[in-house]
A and B are shown apart, each in its own frame.
Chain A
Amino acid sequence: NAGVTQTPKFRVLKTGQSMTLLCAQDMNHEYMYWYRQDPGMGLRLIHYSVGEGTTAKGEVPDGYNVSRLKKQNFLLGLESAAPSQTSVYFCASTPTGNYGYTFGSGTRLTVV
């Protein structure tokens, strides 16, 4: 049981480049989330999804887009990367009901 898998684990981008972060879960969870973690800021919610084909904005959505075409996958896109998007990105999932989260191991992104 792999849980939540994030790819890639590390990436360096130049300003203006685009990329997609992939999150895959094998637990048949309905809800999936993308967070970013910055020193002194804690984890902040970027976007989330409550089911296949549905997405919604979180606390800090600007500069990001998401898609959930398949239940097990949640993609986070950066169309034109900026240095302010340098961060560690975490994906998480949870089933419906009163259950805890499962997190991926994170993607460390540096934008130069």
Chain B
Amino acid sequence: KQEVTQIPAALSVPEGENLVLNCSFTDSAIYNLQWFRQDPGKGLTSLLLIQSSQREQTSGRLNASLDKSSGRSTLYIAASQPGDSATYLCAGRRTTDSWGKLQFGAGTQVVVTP
């Protein structure tokens, strides 16, 4: 079974600082890894999807990297803003899973203070 861990569980930074969120997984046979954002009381919004053949994906101020050999993915958010305050979850899909099931980490709760 794929185990996904996110450290830290919570993070508070001043506005303008870069955010670094970590996700580690136990099974290197990963098919893809997806980062989500969840606002309080809301659903999950997909941020970035990294295929197993890719090392990183970028969208605006967001950059996600994937290192299968070390079992890690990192989400970077440049020049953080108060609007970035949310919980960020990573989820991995195993190569051996034909049905697209994801294994989620517990999330990192981010607060960006003005």
Question: Roughly how many angstroms separate A105 CA and B101 CA in the complex, as a whole number?
Answer: 19
Question: Roughly how many angstroms separate A40 CA and B102 CA in the complex, as a whole number?
Answer: 18
How many B residues, CB 8 Å from partner?
Answer: 22
Main secondary structure of the interface of B (DSSP, over half): strand
Cβ of A72 within 8 Å of any chain B Cβ, yes or no, is no
Of B31, B32, B99, B106, most A-chain CB atoms within 10 Å:
B99
From 32 to 62 in chain A, residues with beta carbon under 8 angstroms from any chain B beta carbon are: 33, 35, 40-43, 45, 48, 50, 56, 58
Say whether B104 contacts A48, CB under 8 Å: no
A12-20, A63-71, A92-100: which one contacts chain B? A92-100
B interface, CB within 8 angstroms of A = 31-32, 34, 36, 41-46, 49, 51, 89, 91, 99-102, 104-107
Residues of A within 8 A of B45 (CB): 103
Say whether B44 contacts A100, CB under 8 Å: no
Say whether A103 contacts B51, CB under 8 Å: no
Question: Roughly how many angstroms separate A42 CA and B3 CA in the complex, as a whole number?
Answer: 12
Question: Roughly how many angstroms separate A50 CA and B42 CA in the complex, as a whole number?
Answer: 26
The 8 residue pairs across chains A and B that have the minimum distance between CB atoms? A100-B49, A105-B43, A103-B44, A42-B106, A43-B104, A103-B43, A31-B100, A42-B104
How many A residues, CB 8 Å from partner?
Answer: 26
Residues of A within 8 A of B107 (CB): 42
Residues of A within 8 A of B42 (CB): 105-106
Cβ of A85 within 8 Å of any chain B Cβ, yes or no, is no
Cβ of A90 within 8 Å of any chain B Cβ, yes or no, is yes
What mask results when residues 80 to 112 of chain A are scored 1 for a CB within 8 Å of chain B, else 0?
Answer: 000000000010101010111111111010000
**Cβ of B20 to closest chain A Cβ, rounded Å:** 21
Q: Given B32, B34, B101, which contacts A48 in the complex, CB threshold below 8 Å?
A: B101
A56-B99 contact given A42-B106, A43-B104, A101-B34, CB 8 Å threshold: yes
Say whether B34 contacts A100, CB under 8 Å: yes
**Cβ of B101 to closest chain A Cβ, rounded Å:** 6
Residues of B within 8 A of A45 (CB): 101-102
Question: Roughly how many angstroms separate A31 CA and B100 CA in the complex, as a whole number?
Answer: 8
